[in-house]
Structure 1
Amino acid sequence: MGYSESFVEKMNEIVTDIRDGEKDFDIRVVAGFDEACSACPHKGETLCSGNVKSNDKVMGLDRRTIDHLGLKAGGVYKKSYLVALTAEKVEPDDLDQICAGCSWLEYGVCKEGIASLREG
């Protein structure tokens, strides 16, 4: 479900690190280009260039996620804290609002992931 082979590889790397219970590391919360964007073929110089509305969509997803979790953009948090906070504060159906407009939402894998995270 990725945009390119390099994007899929980068997302797999990120997801693997997040799911690894032995690893804990700092994560800087950003509203804008992040680690996943580094491999996206739609990454422009300063804005997402997928289409005219892409950058607004990405920024909206970021802002809604940050707001829902009560985080600060630019803040640095331990991965373990963010995973626990997500399990505590995000219900699968919350993604309908948080992730509105995301093309991956319809596949249900993110809702399944949140449900699994909440189950422990």
Structure 2
Amino acid sequence: MRIRAHHLLCALQFRGYGYSEAFVRRVSRVIALWRHRPGLILTITRSHDAWCRACPNRDTSNCRQAAARDARVLACLGLAPGARLEVAAAQDLVHRKIDSRAATYICTGCRWLDGGYCRW
């Protein structure tokens, strides 16, 4: 499954809010799949992924800003686009490498962090 790098962080902070009902349903389904299949292989990307199919902001300026977040996540995690990891390994890597300082750097300008939805 292709997944944007910054969605690795978002998945751990997701609270059922989103850009639209369809987006929330899609993200909820993907996260449930990850819970049931921790060995599922993720291919990390800086472009559209499994979540983006339902995003109303796809190809807008908000979406273009997300690519910069992806780059910052990749740098912080020590990964390159195309890296392949099991869900469990990806989540473990995020837990080990991302703290509140890193999240503030990565997620600068994100409405969910700025709105207090994410807690690192």
TM-score of the superposition, structure 2-length normalised? 0.76
SS in 2 for 1:29: strand
In 1, Cα distance between equivalents of 2:73 and 2:52: 16
Partner of 2:9: none
Partner of 1:27: 42
The answer to whether structure 1 residue 16 and structure 2 residue 24 are counterparts is: no
Question: Identity over aligned residues, as a percent?
Answer: 26
Partner of 1:76: 84
Regions of 4+ moved over 6 Å: none
Counterpart AA for 1:9: R
Select the residue among 93, 97, 102 that pairs with 2:105: 97
The 1:84/1:17 distance shift into structure 2, 3 A limit, reads: same
Which segments of 5 or more consecutive residues in structure 1 lack a partner in the other structure?
A: 115-120
Q: What is the number of residues matched between the two proteins?
A: 104
TM-score of the superposition, structure 1-length normalised? 0.76
Q: Which has the larger radius of gyration?
A: 1
Q: CA deviation at 1:34?
A: 1.2
Give the structure with the higher percent strand: 2
Partner of 1:118: none
The 1:109/1:21 distance shift into structure 2, 3 A limit, reads: farther
Counterpart AA for 1:30: T
Partner of 1:36: 51
Counterpart AA for 2:56: P
The answer to whether structure 1 residue 67 and structure 2 residue 75 are counterparts is: yes
In 2, Cα distance between equivalents of 1:22 and 1:77: 13
1:2-48 deviation per Cα after TM superposition (whole angstroms, max 9, x unaligned): 11111010111122233x266321001000111111111222xxxx2
User: Which has the higher relative contact order, 1 or 2, with Cα contacts under 8 A spaced 6 or more apart?
Assistant: 2
